[in-house]
Amino acid sequence: MLDRLRRTWRLACGDAAEPTAVVIDSRSCRSDPSCFGRGFDGGKKINGGKVHLGVDKYGIPLAIDVSPANVHDTKGIIPVLRELSSKGFRGSALGDLGYRDKRLAKAGRELGVTIKAVARGRDGVFIPTGICWVVERSFAWIANYRRLNTIFERTEEHLVAFIEIAFVSILSRRLRRLVIEGGSA
């Protein structure tokens, strides 16, 4: 359902149904001790899980995966790249400098996805560059859903389903507003 709504939104905005580039990133979240898998993210000092997203220029996910928080971004994003590849995506995946890795680039090439690491700040200050901010906005959108701020799900599939439900809700509201106003996106 999410894919159908994403295509409808992209067509309403005057774009092709399928994107030629995606933006990738991950976010660590606290989790309940009973959830599917926990790990300690040493960089963020969070004990929990990590959500990996691949989004289009509108911030709508094409691929979602979750892992324990101690999984490095370069390893955790590979299932997202596999999902993108299985949906027929061939193009560029833009990410921060954390995705600058030879093994990840090789895995991406094998799947038909070109990984491009983009610098997004200087001297420890976050500066959104180009289109890379859209994935951060997507994480902010799902932070509005209280259920997704702390992971309570016992399986990874349930967490992915809740994230998809959140984006279905977001897109449904956008499309409804578009129909009511009768304008273009």
Domains of the chain as residue ranges with CATH: 2-175 (3.30.420.10)
pLDDT score of 144 more than 70: yes
> By the 8 A CB rule, do 55 and 22 touch?
yes
- Which among 12, 24, 34, 41 has a CA at the least distance from the CA of 108? 24
pLDDT score of 121 more than 70: no
User: How, if at all, do strands 125-126 and 150-151 pair?
Assistant: unpaired
Tokens of 139: 């994480």
Tokens of 51: 């959500």
Average pLDDT of the chain is 89
